[in-house]
Amino acid sequence: MNRRLLSSLISAAAVIIAVVLYLLLRAGGPIRPGSPSGRTRADSGIHLTMGTFARIVAIAPDTSTGSKCVEAALDRIDNVDALMSDYKEDSELTRVNKGAFARPVKVGPETFEVIQRSIEFSKLSNGAFDITVGPLVKLFRESRKTSKAPTDEQIAEAKSKVGYEKLIIDEDAGTIRFTVEGMSLDLGGIAKGYAAETAIQALKQGGALGALVDIGGDVRCFGIPPKGREKWLIGLQDPNAAEATIAGLLLKLEVAEGAVTTSGDYQQFAIIDGQRQSHILDRKTGKSATGLSSVTIIAPDATDADALATAVTVLGPEKGLELIEKIPNTEAILISSAPKYEMMTTTGADKYIK
């Protein structure tokens, strides 16, 4: 593992720890077997997956159930990683990227569902969310290594291979096809949310009374929270804070059941030509999205929240808030880029802010 990737992972871990540790410290102490509530808390600890760190806290009727629930949820997350990672040579996504121009490539139901839903979000956001940005992501990764921006010619070439409109999916056959050679998919803006949602399903099926799943800032919770609380407490990191610590929390959110996903240039970025560049790319410009340092989406479903956080980051404050205001049961908290770090919210976000 190279040093830059390790540094990014450590940074992501710090954000997760800040969120979940805050939750645990404010939970009123650990719940143990035999307590008056008859509940126990199972904690996965830090788990490396999907290019980041995950953590699961589950409330269960007994220790055995809690442990099994957490294990099953981690298996679901790791399975999504195995299917949808573009770093793994044997993943379904890699097979699609390598072969979908020459012929339709069949994928399993999970990968097909994520690609299908991605197209829906692309249409909803007028292309602000687009999983076909793979060629642009490749340029960004190369620039992160060299610290030099790609040329205009390189960006134009990559952009010619980008566009969800160039993607053909066959629902009956379960296949994916590219219409332009050199296309590639990147599911980094939706797969973690989908993994969090499937993990919650496993926890519910296993008998958990409540749980919180955090995958690199994609948080999903349900049911009974830790002892001493009526709802799950989630910390939102201040993008202007020097470190991702409890002291650096901007505000706290109370959520009974739902997803809270935060995307931002303060979590994942690269220094290119001496300037800080976000890993979230705008297909129209071929460059990093600008204008927002942090985007937090609160929604019933983690897959939706993940995709919408990416879309809003690309759309910017005005169009981003306009989009979220149209979506039922969904709210947004935006922080503008440095140096102002101005907070903007949708009309219903206040009910979650503690």
β strands within 72-157, DSSP E: 105-106
pLDDT of 340: 81
Q: Is the pLDDT of residue 166 over 80?
A: yes
What pLDDT digit, counting tens, does each position of 115-142 carry?
999 999 999 999 999 999 999 999 988 8
Q: In the chain, where does the domain assigned CATH 3.10.520.10 lie?
A: 3-81+195-352
pLDDT of 274: 59
Q: Is the pLDDT of residue 241 over 70?
A: no
CATH 3.30.300.30 fits 3-81+195-352, yes or no: no
Closest among 104, 115, 294, 270 to 187, alpha carbons compared: 115
pLDDT of 245: 46
Better-predicted residue by pLDDT, 15 or 146: 146
Question: Are the C-beta atoms of residues 307 and 324 closer than 8 Å to each other?
Answer: no
Average pLDDT in the 75-88 region? 97
Q: Is the pLDDT of residue 186 over 70?
A: yes
Q: In the chain, where does the domain assigned CATH 1.10.3980.10 lie?
A: 92-178
Question: Are the C-beta atoms of residues 161 and 135 closer than 8 Å to each other?
Answer: yes
* pTM (2 d.p.): 0.89
Residues shown for the chain: 354
**Whole-angstrom Cα distance, residue 72 to residue 208?**
11
Query: Which contacts qualify for 247-251: CB closer than 8 Å, 24 or more apart?
Result: 248/18, 249/18, 249/22, 250/335, 250/343, 251/333, 251/353, 251/354
pLDDT of 270: 58
Residue 27: pLDDT band with limits 50, 70, 90: very low
> Following DSSP, what letter does each residue of 266-324 receive, concatenated?
TTSEEEETTEEEES-EETTTTEE--SEEEEEEEES-HHHHHHHHHHHHHH-HHHHHHHH
Q: 21: which residues sit within 8 A by CB, 6+ positions away?
A: 246
pLDDT of 276: 65
In the CATH scheme, what is the homologous superfamily, with its name and number, of domain 92-178?
Answer: ApbE-like superfamily (1.10.3980.10)
What pLDDT digit, counting tens, does each position of 34-67 carry?
444 568 999 999 999 999 999 999 999 999 999 9
User: Lowest mean pLDDT: which of 163-177, 221-235, 315-329?
Assistant: 221-235
Average pLDDT, the chain: 87
